[in-house]
Chains A and B, each alone.
Chain A
Amino acid sequence: MNHEIQYFRPNTLKEAASFFSDNPFAYPIAGGTDILVKWKNGGLPQLSHFVDVRKIVPSMIVKENGKVIIGAGCAMNVLALDPFIAGNFPALSSAAWSVGSFQIRNMATIGGNVANASPAGDTIPALLALDANVILGNSAGTRKIPILEFFSGPGKTVLKRGDLIEGFEVKNCQTKGAFLKLGTRASNAISKVSLALSIFESKLGSSEFRIALGAVASTVIRCKKAETILGESSAPFSNEVLNEAMVAVQEISKPIDDIRSAKVYRKKMAGVLLKRALIALRLVSSSVD
């Protein structure tokens, strides 16, 4: 931390990209709530520049061509309090609202949450449960990849030097959903385990389920088995169906023991969160135990 660190604010994506290729230890900064803490903790010994991307990364929520595009620079409070997002993508809205505190949510961006790639990043399971695409930009142009292919390990993504996340694309439709997490406290606590559930309903009356889990593996994961179990049964779900889905969610969870929680607890609670989400959406009776 002794060498002098510089601050740079590019005006265009191109300018940023060439800066990143000239400076291998320059890092993007958006809300700063992850990277400044990491740096203050001594976690970025080689850091040369903070490259402020807030000017060049979109932060609006726009609807076009049947898609909704959420700018990477969108702050958590803006996302959580947006009536369209709350009405159509409730899992994402409540995930954003669950982040940190009111102050943190005014700074923290969704792009930073995803780029940081923590297995406990709260908007990540919500984006997975919405089949979101990540829109990436660099000097060569933009490209899209499914969010499921974006993460390669804890803190690791497919982002290459000079790539920035520009936003997230989801289908413009109405979903039902929920996001639940367990932490040590209600606010400013990193998730021990989290679950996002979204339901896409077709006109023919069938429902497609998406279930994603945070903090139970090296990246956020989806549980396709539980999705199928629920999708092929009809609500309200019987105890057998519920149990089968809970077991599927527990089986796919390969959590670790760490300072925040224990393996067995996380695994067990992954199932419990699924049950709670289904109860909240009135898809099982709340009398199930």
Chain B
Amino acid sequence: MKKNQLVVQFKLNGRMVSSEVSPTMTMLDLLREKFFLTATKEGCGKGECGACTILLNGLPVNSCLQLAAALSPEDEVTSLEGLVFDPLLKKIQNSFVQEGAVQCGFCTPGMLVSSYAVLKSKKNPSDQDIKEGLAGNICRCTGYMKIMSAVKKAATEE
């Protein structure tokens, strides 16, 4: 083991894993560089854009502002890849495509994770609930209207 490295063990997308990490590595870099899970994106690196959104113990957080070294076996990290077989995510993905809520796509993984978190916690979210849930996700392309209608559509569809 290289000097100054730590070993962390945690649950990643349903599976117990372990990895060597440097003390200042973020969860974002851990996912991308150690596990090659590249859905999670780095936009700003400072908590402002939401491209790096993951679920930590079920709650959406900015993985660029979480140290990987803090992970322990009780922790469960879910990246977008961990949701691909989830019917709720499938529904959200479909409505994003149908509503044209994806342009360049850079914000999309983060938008999907945040949308998933909104719909997981509320079956019939109000417009305000959706806005609050997505306020931390910035999109340069779509102007948000299509993203809003995609999430609303996913909420109402069986």
Contact = CB atoms under 8 A, between A and B. Distances in A.
Interface of A: 4-7, 9, 29, 31-33, 36-37, 39-41, 50, 52, 54, 77, 100-104, 106-107, 186-188
A103 B62 CA distance: 6
A187 B117 CA distance: 18
By Cβ-Cβ distance, the 6 closest A-B pairs, closest first, are A101-B136, A187-B135, A7-B23, A7-B69, A106-B59, A103-B136
B109 interface: no
Nearest to B135: A187
B59 to A, nearest CB: 4
Contacts of B4: 4, 6
Contacts of B62: 33, 103-104, 107
Interface of B: 3-4, 6, 23-24, 26, 45-48, 50, 53, 56, 59-62, 65-67, 69-70, 114, 117, 132-137
Contacts of B117: 102
9 contacts: A33-B65, A52-B67, A102-B132, A102-B135, A103-B114, A103-B136, A106-B59, A106-B60, A107-B65
A50 B60 contact: no
A37 B47 contact: yes
Contacts of A37: 46-47, 65
Nearest to A78: B59
A50 B50 contact: no
A102 B114 contact: yes
B108 to A, nearest CB: 16
A29 B67 contact: yes
B100 to A, nearest CB: 24
Nearest to B53: A103
Nearest to B72: A9
B50 to A, nearest CB: 6
A40 to B, nearest CB: 6
A107 B70 CA distance: 13
Contacts of A52: 67, 69-70
Nearest to B59: A106
